[in-house]
Amino acid sequence: MTTILNQLYQRRAQARVGGGEARISKQHKQQKYTARERLLILLDPETFEEWDTFVVHNCHDFDMMEEQIPGDGVVTGHGKINGQKVCVFAQDFTVLGGSLSETHARKICKVMDTAMRIGVPVIGLNDSGGARIQEGVSSLAGYAEVFQRNALASGVIPQISLIMGPCAGGAVYSPAITDFSFMVEGSAYMFVTGPNVAKTVTHEEVTAEELGGAAVHASKSGVVAKKYVDEVAMLLDVRRLMKFLPANNKIPRLSRVHPQQPMQPGHDDNGLRPALENILPQDSNTPYNMQHVIDNVIDDRDFFALHHDFAANIITGFARLKGRPIGIVANQPLHLAGCLDIDASTKAARFVRFCDCFNIPILTLVDVPGFMPGTTQEHGGIIRHGAKLLYAFAEATVPKVTLIVRKAYGGAYDVMASKHLRGDVNYAWPAAEIAVMGAKGAVEIIFRNHSKDHQATKEAEYTQRFANPFVAAEKGFIDDVIAPHNTRNRLACAFDLVAEKDLRNPWKKHDNMPL
C-alpha cells in the first residue's frame, strides 16, 4: 500500500506543477498567477476538490504523445464561495498555452454538466492560446460542446467568466454567452480575429490591447461587465458578487432561511434618509448623480455596479434593501441627461432578464427625458434596441417596484417599468414630471402659430397642469406620491408587499424578443 500511495503522491505532485517550474516562473513574471493559485484566492479556504487531475490528451499527431501533461491544461472541480457551492474550471497557460483539446473540453463539460445537475453556479477562468491546432477539428468540436452547455445552462444556473489572459477566436463565444464576464487590464484580451489578421484583411495597424483589451471591452463594446487592475482584485470582487446571487433558478426569491440566498440584516435605524430631500436641483434641467439616490436607499451603500464604464447613462447592479437582494436599473442624468440610447437599452435589457431568470426583484429609478434623437441612433436601430428594454420589463414576472425621481417623458416613461408593463408598485417623488414631453417642446408644437408671449403663458400653464406626478396619480398609474426622506422605508414595504406575487406568462416554447 505504501508503494501505491507514493505513486499517487508523485503523480499528484507532477500534475500540480503543470507545465513545469520554468513556465510557472514565466507566468509569475508577467504578473499572472497559475490556475491553481487563482482558485485558492477565489474559493473558501480548504474547500477546493479537484477532478480529473490525471487526465491526458489522446492526440498522436505531430509528436504530441511526448507532451502528455496530467490535467491537459485545465484545472476543474468544485468548492465554495462564502459557503455557497460552486463548480469551477481554470485554464492553465503553463500547459501547452492552455490550448483547448478534445479532453480539455471534456473536462470543462463534465463540471458544467455537474453544475446543472446539482443546481450551482459555474465559474470559468479563461487563460488560453485557443484551439489546439495539432488536434484540428476535434478541438473545434470541443468548443462547440462547451457552447451547447452554456446555452442550456443559461437562465438555469449563474455562469461567470473571468478573462485572465488571451481569449481569442472561437474561445470568446463561451464568455459571451455567460451571464457576466470580467477582465484584467494589461494581461487579458479578447477578439474574434487578432491584430495580424486585421492587418492582413483590413490593413489596420492595431495592438492586441487596442483591439480587444479590458478597457475596450469595458467601455466601448460592453462585452465585459468590469475591468480590474490585477487578478486578486478581480477574484475578490467576484466573491463579493456571489453574495447577491442565488445558486439556481429554483431558489425562492424571498427565502429568509435558505443558506444560498439568505435575507441579511439591513443594518438599519429608522430608515429615514433626510439627505434625499436635497439631491434634486431647483432647475429640472440641471444634472445630478443618481448614484447618490441609490446609496441613500440601499443597505450600507453596498452597490455592485455592472458595466459602469459602458452606457453610463443608465446604471445597473445589485444591492440589498433591508436585507433583501435586489437588482437596480436607474437612469443617470449625469450622462446624456439620462436619455435611453442603443447601448443603454441593450445593457439594461440583459440585466433585467438576468434578474427575472433568477428571481431577483427589480427596483427601477426613473429620470428619463426620452430616447436619444438623431440619425446615428435611428440608423443604428434605436427602435429595435429600445424595444429590447421594453420587452424585458414587460416579460419579467419578478417583483417590480418603480420610483419616478424626476422626469418620465414620452415612450421612455412607458419603457422604464411603468404600471402598464405590470409594475407592481409605482411611486413618484413630488417633483416628478410625467408627461408626453417637456412643457417648452409641447407648447411649441401645440401653439406653433401663436406669439412668443402666448407660448410663454401656455408653457407655464402646461407646466402647472402636467409637469407633476398628480395627473398620473389621479389615473392610478402612480400608486402614491412619496416624501423623498421616507423613500427607503416605502420601497422596502413595497417589496415586502409583492414578495410572494404569483404571475406567470402564457406557455410558449420560448419568446422571440427583438434581438
The catalytic residues are 169-170, 411-412
Instruction: List own/partner pairs for 20-26 with CB under 8 A and 24 or more apart.
Output: 20/94, 23/93, 23/94, 23/95, 24/94, 26/94
Please list, residue by residue across 366-387, b when 16 or more beta carbons sit within 10 angstroms of its beta carbon and e when fewer do.
bbbbbbbeeeebeeeebeebbb
Please list, residue by residue across 147-172, b when 16 or more beta carbons sit within 10 angstroms of its beta carbon and e when fewer do.
eebbeebbbebbbbbbbbbbbbbbbb
d(CA 342, CA 510): 24
Query: Do 402 and 416 meet the contact criterion of CB atoms below 8 Å apart?
Result: yes
Alpha helices in 130-272 (DSSP H): 137-153, 173-177, 195-202, 208-212, 214-216, 231-242
> In 194-339, which ranges are E strands?
226-228, 304-306, 314-321, 324-331
CA 351 centroid distance within chain:
6
The grid coordinates of residue 30 equal: 508577467
Of the candidates 443, 390, 437, 424, the residue with the CA atom closest to the CA atom of residue 500? 424
Question: Any idea which residue has 406669439 for its cell?
Answer: 451
User: Left if phi > 0, otherwise alpha if psi is -120 to 50, otherwise beta: which for 440?
Assistant: alpha
Query: Do 367 and 406 meet the contact criterion of CB atoms below 8 Å apart?
Result: yes
Of the candidates 399, 394, 385, 383, the residue with the CA atom closest to the CA atom of residue 417? 394
The grid coordinates of residue 300 equal: 450600507
d(CA 39, CA 16): 13
Query: Do 341 and 377 meet the contact criterion of CB atoms below 8 Å apart?
Result: yes
Question: Any idea which residue has 458544467 for its cell?
Answer: 112
Which residues does residue 74 pair with via DSSP β-bridges, in sequence order?
A: 91
The grid coordinates of residue 93 equal: 497557460
CA 488 centroid distance within chain:
24
d(CA 499, CA 202): 54
d(CA 92, CA 71): 9
